[in-house]
Structure 1
């Protein structure tokens, strides 16, 4: 199975320091949904792993989060993209849960749900905690410079081997180009 794990805010859609609290505030980053469609066409199962502490902070409720995700799924489908599943952590940092990134609880759940070892699976995020949770599970870390990505890059301390791209679209271009090259080399 070809699986890829994406963060949501700052990778697929525009981020906000005030949180994405309604479907109206969920705005896709140009090219991100088309990039997901290209991943699907190349045989990838796309899943999202996202911290959503706005629920724990009582900024929005589960019905609102579901509506935001319904908007995301609908917008993706309109360009031929499918997001197979969304895994989320509703807790605040003070809750000290196992699922809030940088802890790997959500990724453990993805591994169980898809019955797959995540070693070598591509994980894409715009924050250090996104990269750290994937790295702990053996994922290949990819930083996009959308959302909080530029600040994350400037702070440094990225996991070893982190690859950096301007956005999800550029990351997917490189991933699919590398996959095609590997297939061509294998065929020779």
Structure 2
């Protein structure tokens, strides 16, 4: 089975230098909701793969990120789309964890939990670390320029 994997900040929503710390600060990029509606017609899992180092930096609580994702999922669903799962690296960049992109840990975790082949899936991101994570996981990579 295939899957569509999406980075969050810079692909779904506008990226902020000071991090998205609340739903109030979350702003969809133009065209994202119609695109997610079209993707939802495909019979494949759609998951968000995101580094959220603001958690590891003590700027935001994990529960707040979960609330942002719950509201994101509901807004996308109300627009006719779907997001099946969220995979989050909460670690500070200095920890050297295996889940922080450009390492492939989150993509591998998604494939295991949602039962799909990375080889036949695509990861859409906006940074070189997204591209490198996709390549390291054996996944097709699409790099978008949103800024």
Using the size of structure 2 for normalisation, the TM-score is 0.95
Counterparts of 1:145 and 1:71, CA distance in 2 = 25
Stretches of 4+ aligned residues off by more than 3 angstroms: none
Shift of 1:115: 2.4
Counterparts of 1:120 and 1:129, CA distance in 2 = 20
SS of corresponding position for 1:18: coil
The aligned residue for residue 175 of structure 1 is: none
Q: Quick check: 1:38 aligned with 2:38?
A: yes
| Mapped contact 1:124–1:144 kept (Cα < 8 A) | yes
Larger radius of gyration: 1
SS of corresponding position for 1:50: strand
Distance 1:119 1:126, change over 3 A: same
Runs (5+) with no aligned partner, structure 1: 148-188
| Mapped contact 1:123–1:140 kept (Cα < 8 A) | yes
Alignment of 1:85-96 (within 5 A): 85-96=85-96
The aligned residue for residue 60 of structure 1 is: 60
Number of residue pairs aligned between Structure 1 and Structure 2 = 147
Counterparts of 1:2 and 1:37, CA distance in 2 = 18
Counterparts of 2:82 and 2:20, CA distance in 1 = 21
Deviation by residue 1:36-70 (Cα, 9 ceiling, x = unmatched): 11011132321000000000001110121111112
| Mapped contact 2:48–2:87 kept (Cα < 8 A) | yes
SS of corresponding position for 2:54: coil
| Mapped contact 2:45–2:114 kept (Cα < 8 A) | no
| Mapped contact 1:4–1:44 kept (Cα < 8 A) | yes
Alignment of 1:164-175 (within 5 A): none
The aligned residue for residue 130 of structure 1 is: 130
| Mapped contact 1:47–1:86 kept (Cα < 8 A) | yes
Counterparts of 1:137 and 1:50, CA distance in 2 = 15
Shift of 1:116: 2.4
Higher relative contact order (CA 8 A, sep 6+): 2
**What is the Cα-based RMSD across aligned positions, in Å?**
1.1
SS of corresponding position for 1:76: helix
